[in-house]
Structure 1
């Protein structure tokens, strides 16, 4: 086992209630700015996929590889990135990830062939995974209790807000030139410099290298409660990307113009942003278990309402409920994982969470398209089926949460 050398204690606010976000903290600023870059990965370039197809003379399926390969590499390499962050420090991995993200993204603007563009994209996915893992790990290291929920909620709120805005930016840049969207990635370079100068490395681990460290990390991370939380992360993303980003656009395309489909997705993202920003206040009144149950309950109601919706307003109402579920679920998973893992293996735990998140994002669209088209179920029936899945998940959370709390006499915000 390694020895933890702490150069700074967990951050505590100097004023205001503990469920508030310490906006003046350099750590919080760096985490949120770094997180804001994340939607540059997919939402920024998604509107430009037809442009890339035409420029390089490739098929739709080949163009879509710019999305799928970006997530696939994160599934595989996230655990190794987490181990690296636990061994050499979060700051080094974050700064390196930001630099690589910016340099590789900018290099795509001068890629001579689609093969070169795809290779750069795969490498950039690795850098993105480093950013995802280290930002939430730093929050887990630095904050406790309701304030941790608050900062993680702000993190998800930033992610949702930029994910709603960047498709517009990407489409506008693609209208200027096919490679203009890639220049936006260069913004990561000054952020890396800011992180290098302003971010402290509060936790360093020494000793316990090699196989011993890997064994201890696996024993600490692979436990039933954490595996259950990873399952929650997977189901959350699997249903979100399968329903909102895959099934719903195809269902709405029969009656609405693309701009209205964008409005529907924007409504969902807006709801998740607002609710996630309130995560710290919610943590004072609800345990993580009950928050997960309410999140899946929102999924169940929202999916069923989307299946029954007959017009634009009812559809928007349905996706708003789904967005509330996203805002409840995403911050609380990271908070609950942080509660259960020591600082020494925090990045390893977050890397596995990142792998399960990316796995859900990758498989959700594939499964939904396969069942709807190849198996002939249709997208509408999948909306109703998703509601039943969410009902089951809600029931499991309702039953498991109080039992777990009773066994441990846990604090209301623990899991």
Structure 2
């Protein structure tokens, strides 16, 4: 067997592998969005305040932020296959528990269990995709991943909105999809699959996340951007159902259309075109567009007094999310050494979901004591500062991939 054929046999995943990883990607960041359409119903049924209801959406994020670094180290050492399969099973069981719980404390605990599984799903699926694809094909796959994730943001909340009209417990059945997907992961991902390029074995570094951040400060800066953007934008995710309720929209199916479906549709379109957008505009320009879209969305949300105007909010946030998710994922990966890809990816998860968890703790009391509009304006001030900071940068790093052999599309996975 020639060296070329050996490389291709080793590194080229099949169509089934890519399909499973993209399906897993639909779950990793959808823990809260899936039940967002029924969050106001849950709040009223359990008789809790706005901040407590927000924690139902984001409590799993606390578990993700805490557990992700451990998942990342395990991924660097053993590969993503087994941690991903285990995480999908825990995701399904923890999320599905909401079908039978009747109290707020029990629901909160089940959301923490969901977060443990989601930490593995997000970290392992992302590390596997980054390790298996290089060059221009990586940008395409990252765009497909964004499209897959946002397609989940379209389908799952829509299904949850329809089920929520029958019972607030029913939407939690959607999480059970993690169980068969976990079994499929064991079958589709090859044994010993690595998070490093082409499955190469590299020396495992000691020191974990702290050493990575110390030796590669750009990773710290990019993770800080994750924290800021997700924390600020969660104001919309938590407050939009409440704002719609104030405007007389109580049907959870319609709330799903506003809260997730429109945003996911916009982000899906951006994800499918992401490779071309990156080639023509570059990462810095794309991030500026994202920050501008978010700022505009928050301003519209603060002042809109009619449901029709609020349609602009999810559209603009979807554009921002469709840009930011693949861009920051690729940039963090380029800023870290390949043998610490799992750790770097886990730090993204900690930053992303840590920002989500902190958001209702910061903005919940502010909104409860003032108004939803005030919270949105404060968040808009934050995204404006991010936009100004991005304009002060000449460009974000465009470090080329180091593994040129894997950049050849002929040696990469067959696209679906």
Q: Is the 8 A contact 1:74 1:358 kept in 2?
A: yes
The change in CA–CA distance for 1:285 and 1:82 in structure 2 (over 3 A counts) is same
> Please, which moves more after superposition, 160-169 or 323-332?
160-169
Q: Which residue of 2 aligns with 1:357?
A: 352
> Please, which moves more after superposition, 290-299 or 127-136?
290-299
The change in CA–CA distance for 1:359 and 1:25 in structure 2 (over 3 A counts) is same
1:32 aligned to which of 22, 32, 37: 22
Encode CA deviations 1:73-118: one digit per residue, 9 max, x unaligned: 1111111111111111111111111122234445565669765554
Runs of at least 5 residues in structure 2 that lack an aligned partner in the other structure: 1-6, 402-416
Distance across 2 between alignment mates of 1:105 and 1:311? 34
1:189 aligned to which of 179, 188, 198: 179
1:41 aligned to which of 31, 44, 49: 31
The correspondence of residues 280-291 of structure 1 with structure 2, limited to 5 A, is 280-291=275-286
Runs of at least 5 residues in structure 1 that lack an aligned partner in the other structure: 1-5, 13-23
Q: Secondary structure at the match of 1:193?
A: helix
The change in CA–CA distance for 1:310 and 1:32 in structure 2 (over 3 A counts) is same
Q: Secondary structure at the match of 1:358?
A: helix
Distance across 2 between alignment mates of 1:76 and 1:132? 13
Q: Which residue of 2 aligns with 1:229?
A: 222
Q: Is the 8 A contact 2:54 2:360 kept in 1?
A: no
The change in CA–CA distance for 1:321 and 1:125 in structure 2 (over 3 A counts) is closer
Q: Which residue of 2 aligns with 1:347?
A: 342
Q: Is the 8 A contact 1:233 1:353 kept in 2?
A: yes
Distance across 2 between alignment mates of 1:93 and 1:149? 25
TM-score normalised by structure 1 residue count: 0.80
Distance across 1 between alignment mates of 2:310 and 2:385? 23
Distance across 1 between alignment mates of 2:356 and 2:348? 12
Distance across 2 between alignment mates of 1:107 and 1:263? 25
The correspondence of residues 43-192 of structure 1 with structure 2, limited to 5 A, is 43-47=33-37, 59=48, 66-106=56-96, 109=99, 118-174=108-164, 180-192=170-182
Q: Which residue of 2 aligns with 1:263?
A: 257
The change in CA–CA distance for 1:164 and 1:368 in structure 2 (over 3 A counts) is farther
Shift, 1:137, TM fit: 0.9
TM-score normalised by structure 2 residue count: 0.79
Shift, 1:313, TM fit: 3.5
The change in CA–CA distance for 1:133 and 1:395 in structure 2 (over 3 A counts) is same
Distance across 2 between alignment mates of 1:320 and 1:380? 19
Distance across 2 between alignment mates of 1:348 and 1:167? 30
Shift, 1:51, TM fit: 7.0
